[in-house]
Chain A
């Protein structure tokens, strides 16, 4: 419960709806598109997921910060989301791995955060009205000013967010293969002695756990900037290409679509989230914006090839439009809640792409097998 040491904070939505609460992060004002996430655990992974660039996130689970924060559970080096909205934070953190309380962690990363918000009301509002722009402030300003700032927030579609989060240089992820995927039991049929294939991973805002999992499935991973040309990638002579998750509107990345098309014609490719949308666009599919997105760790997806259902972690605001899916692509996975496309394959080429997050973090590990599938795809190509 906030006491006097917590200064007031205000969340203003572009449609004029206001939520008052208390600051528990950095002081200041931030703007962005506001969305909600229904995961009951994993706030630290959410905070550090580059896909949230440009957004503010409200957690539907009301009690956040209970287990503090630690170095191991970061999905990137910084906090990408613009503002963080919760019902109640904890003054103490209780977990043997905790290093820093959430409050300090947010302050250290200059992230504005508000507690004391009825996040269920906020969630219902967003569910009914759709995601929208918002302003979160701890500064003295009138309600009208805050709403005006919300309205003045650039649309997500207008920002080049991928460029902001992508690596500036090419690097190899964990060459020695020392870093383990934390807690995830990796089942791979490939032995250590085998020749390790080389993967080029496009970083559109890649989560660390994807890189860890590619590596722990016995692949060498060269991470490249988002705008690296297809020619430059092919010059590295990779065995497969990975297209990462990332923020923003997938339709706006036309040069990347072209690169993707060139590469997919030559190499086995694997895409996750934004990676799927890019690969879709590459083959002529289109995407549309969902009313309030899919963000949470309880989303059921059916693998149409086996009939098996897995519970997946998801974080996307756009989806592939199935109505005008090119004939070359087929739907391999489907979201069971709204029946949207959750996975694609190419009818002739080795292409594997999913809308959800098999690397979890946060979320269930049910779809880890896709990393193994990618590795097999490469092996059969080589064989």
Chain B
């Protein structure tokens, strides 16, 4: 069946902001879908609130709405655009949920829009746990014993019926399994189930028999309208059941099943997709398998493109999202061609001749109070993938791709062996860490082997399959052999076991350069292999490579000038999709300039690792060794390090020392901006102001500096991104605590101490410079005051309260610094403005997190222009010579992950903790802000009960604000202190008890969903215990909780704007036209 010609205009819904459980993989799938549909001649209307995505670039869809993904807003877009169909399966759970809501409200029917890809009934069958379970039993497949509960009573009844602990709790319709967990006893059951009931939009939780120790598998399946079904990739989880698959280390293909068992799972997968009735497109189906009996259970299915399908696409080279989009418009699989071979059909099953390992990346260091145990609720924020001819190669490569400072499984000088004070192994710690899974469990397995535990011992504790453990043991044995006699073990053998030069150097007491020299002398170079979907059975034309140590290299080098772009590696807090966006733009721009682009990255979720993005893709770790190998192999003209965040910048100097040409801004400029002393000297020379500060290399020096410049001070380690370990310190005691606990301080890693400006306005500036000229991209005024990490603050283009004098100062300072630093490309500056004075907080001569936001606000692709400048183009030749100040307002708001880390206090500070961002656009500032809040969730309430409790310093300022809220129609509740202040000013307020004073208190109101807005400014770094309890409860109940006074003021204005009139939507293309 060829494509459906009755379709003309297709509405595609994106996944919104990056949150835990929904990362940038949906930008990858969305971009593929947009391209595939446009290629077929359809008009594409796109809605996505996330400006850092490639898919929301104006050229990817015909009409792009950067608007909140809510049923109300999407209906407005439908009315405006009149699409004939809606594709709901490529934007993650967000798109699926909003599409289902549109169906339920009859909106699609009303406007004559039909769902393509999956129908509503199929989505319902796949997503509703009870319906799904019954369906599985009907088709003869087994599921875990379980029951769905809608109340605590039902929870207990089901638990008693199953009859044993532990029990698994899974709430229905939540992202990444939010609110789920494992209960080992009745108390835990009640606690977790209540949280789950609260979080589930349908107040439904599934209580399940524990599958502790079972093996977990996944199948990525595609079906077309003629009922042809194929498996794209099979995945085996290294971690057993009980750890969310997003948090599990996984391997493709399945390693430990015979063909008989594999085919049984394949048959079951097809039975599931057929029974659920997914008409066309991809689905992910998860299975559990009993390791001793082989009993196989179906766990769940996702009737849509998922995180795993992005991984499967990268692991096999089969573009699932692209094919899914084409199937949705009516094609059959056999009518489509395999992109990689260009000669064979897309209706086949990829077969691979390498091993793929995925490892998630965690950021528990940002949430010290959160439980770091891995459970059924996803907690990781990113992932890496590595390919090798063997599991051992892939595993070690994946571990060094993580960028957690490790260079493989161990033996890299970074081991923290669990030993007792007498130097013997701490078996208790080892056993505990094997039994209770944590982010570092893979390293713990190595320690366990070193301590003498056997494969069987470790299996008994961790339930990890002996095959994986044995492979890890072989790595450990090789390490020990090499350590014992480095001269006798052939270097090639160690390389084939996946050891990095760094590890080999450590084991043989040499430098990495010495190992590298030996390797070259012996002619040992990595060989690059094609990811070709067919295990070399057919010739492949797509240049997508991984390295191994084998007999031949498959790269076909051209004579064109090549530029290498270093990606950002795994997503983490502080370095995410924004940087991948910049890398992708660099690829496009350099191709436009006639260069051949070489992309190096290790993150499977990204658009940069789509083999369509660059001319050559190397799926490799971003380490000195791996990058140099490719650079030398391909004889690149230069390397771009500006776009991938801190990852490539950290490599820049070392690369340059080894003869690599860095194009654009030079590493010495980066060093100048990062080095406190040099930077201060530069500002002095330019006559620019900075907050007073200095660098300390030990505790006593730090204390001395702080007392000289006066508290409060802002302290941070140098060379970090995302404000890691950054704190505002008010006392000497706090400073000592910080140095002793939070930060390693040494002459090599000094800390920076600055005078902290209280109640200053923070301003971010992104600019472009070519060595002769500097043009401002955007001046962003923050809503929250300086001191809150810029990544966690909302900001606005254009500025709304800064005076012309201040703006002039900012522009001049930016330009002076860009030219002084010889910036060729992008630069970001952070300013603090207080009493008309402009202070420079920080300068980063590289692409910033706000680059995509600014580009979308002003309609100029800044990253692209920056890449072109790096090749020698000038701003004037590129036609960008003047700052563009939009007539409309663009708000960027941060999205926080607190709901995934119960117990963490939600107050904002200098350490960044947000995972993603949204953009709100409107001609009215208040409405733009309201849209941003709506997109970031939860939306601002337009009335109801407001609870206020503020610190003493804010009590005066709160009075007019509360008046404003009363005027907007809110009823006000407050605790005693705040209430008294308000009453003294003649405001009518209902006083609530503190938690310790008994009921009714604010917690009761929160639990009854009787509070709609909370303004609660924290009383200090170690806040009053009640505050944390209240704020956590509010997060769990999805109540808007404002912890910063300036946010409250902006919110009041936004609510007023919202009450003044209906929301309107407008596409980014229209906004850009009006510029």
Question: A residues engaging B (CB < 8 A)?
Answer: 1, 19, 36, 38-42, 44-45, 60-63, 66-67, 70, 72-73, 87-88, 90-97, 118-121, 123-124, 127, 182-185, 292, 296-300, 302, 307-311, 336-337, 360-365
A306–B538 Cα distance when bound, in Å, is 27
CB distance from B557 to the nearest CB of A (A): 18
Q: What is the bound-complex CA distance between A309 and B466, given in angstroms? A: 38
Q: CB distance B467 to A87 under 8 Å?
A: no
CA separation between A88 and B292, bound complex, in Å? 25
Q: Do residues B535 and A183 form an inter-chain contact, with CB atoms below 8 A?
A: no
Interface 1/0s, chain B 146-167, versus A by CB < 8 A? 0000000000000000000000
CA distance A298 to B534 in the complex (A): 9
Residues of B within 8 A of A127 (CB): 536-539
Closest CB in chain B relative to A43 CB, distance in Å: 8
Assuming the contacts A60-B351, A62-B354, asked whether A90 and B537 have C-beta atoms less than 8 A apart, the reply is no
1/0 per residue, CB under 8 A from A, across B457-480: the answer is: 000000001110011001000100
Of all chain A residues, the one with the shortest Cβ separation from B348 is A300
Residues from chain A with a CB closer than 8 A to the CB of B226 are 307-309
Most buried by A among B226, B258, B351, B455: B258
- Residue numbers in B under 8 Å from A121 (CB-CB): 550-552
The reply to whether B529 and A120 contact each other, CB–CB distance below 8 Å, is yes
Find out whether the CB atom of A41 lies under 8 angstroms from the CB atom of B535.
Answer: no
Tell me if A63 and B255 are in contact (CB < 8 A). Answer: yes
Whether A63 pairs with B352 at a CB distance below 8 angstroms is no
B537 touches A296 (CB 8 A): yes
Taking a contact as CB atoms under 8 Å apart, the answer to whether B334 and A309 are in contact is yes
Using Cβ atoms and an 8 Å threshold, which residues of chain A touch B466? 92, 94
State the CA gap A344–B332 with chains docked (Å).
24
Give Cα distance in the complex from A311 to B466, angstroms. Answer: 32
Beta-carbon contact of A40 and B351 below 8 Å: yes
- Cross-chain pairs A/B with CB under 8 angstroms, 23 sampled: A1-B478, A1-B497, A42-B258, A60-B353, A63-B355, A67-B257, A88-B389, A90-B470, A92-B466, A95-B257, A118-B552, A121-B551, A123-B536, A123-B537, A124-B552, A127-B539, A182-B260, A183-B260, A183-B264, A296-B537, A298-B349, A309-B334, A336-B344
B258 and A92 contact, CB distance less than 8 A = no
The reply to whether A39 and B259 contact each other, CB–CB distance below 8 Å, is yes
Number of A-B contacts (CB under 8 A): 177
Neighbouring A residues of B552 by C-beta, 8 Å: 118, 121, 124
Beyond A123-B353, A361-B259, 17 extra complex contacts between A and B, CB < 8 Å:
A36-B537, A40-B351, A45-B259, A61-B351, A62-B390, A73-B259, A92-B455, A94-B256, A94-B466, A97-B294, A118-B552, A123-B536, A185-B267, A298-B351, A300-B345, A300-B347, A311-B349
Is B254 located at the chain interface by the 8 A CB criterion? yes
Q: Given that A41-B257, A123-B536 are contacting pairs, would A62 and B455 also be in contact in the complex, using a CB cutoff of 8 Å?
A: no
B494 to chain A, nearest CB (A): 10
Shortest distance between the CB of A367 and any CB in chain B (Å): 12
Interface: B446 (CB within 8 A): no
| A190 to B263 CA separation, bound complex (whole angstroms) | 24
CA distance A154 to B493 in the complex (A): 37
Least Cβ–Cβ distance between B955 and chain A, in angstroms: 66
CA distance A150 to B1029 in the complex (A): 78
Q: What chain A residues lie within 8 Å of B256 (beta carbons)?
A: 66-67, 94-95
The interface residues of chain B lying within 8 Å CB-to-CB of A67 are: 256-258, 467
Given the interface pairs A90-B467, A90-B470, A124-B536, the reply to whether A183 lies near B351 with Cβ below 8 Å is: no
Q: Among the listed A308, A310, A311, A362, which residue makes an inter-chain contact with B259, where contact means beta carbons less than 8 Å apart? A: A362
Is B470 a contact partner of A44 (Cβ separation < 8 A)? no
Picked from A87, A91, A96, A118, the residue with its CB within 8 Å of the CB of B470 is: A91
CB distance from A376 to the nearest CB of B (A): 21
A72 to B260, CA, bound (A): 10
Q: What is the CB-to-nearest-CB distance from B403 to chain A, in angstroms, rounded to a whole number?
A: 27
C-alpha spacing A311/B227, complex, angstroms: 13
Interchain CA distance A42-B257 in the complex, whole Å: 9
* 4 closest residue pairs by CB, A with B: A42-B259, A362-B259, A60-B535, A94-B467
Knowing A63-B255, A67-B257, A127-B537 touch, does A336 contact B350 (C-beta < 8 A)?
A: no
- Please tell me if the beta carbons of B389 and A311 are within 8 angstroms of each other in the complex: no
B708 within 8 A of A: no
Within the complex, the shortest CB–CB distance from B339 to chain A, in Å, comes to 15
B496 at the interface (CB under 8 A from A): yes
Question: Is there an interface contact between B353 and A73, defined as CB atoms closer than 8 Å?
Answer: no
Minimal beta-carbon separation of A71 from chain B (angstroms): 12
Taken together as a complex, chains A and B put the C-alpha atoms of A119 and B257 apart, in Å, by: 22
Contact status A66-B551, CB under 8 Å: no
Residues of A within 8 A of B263 (CB): 183-184, 360, 362-365
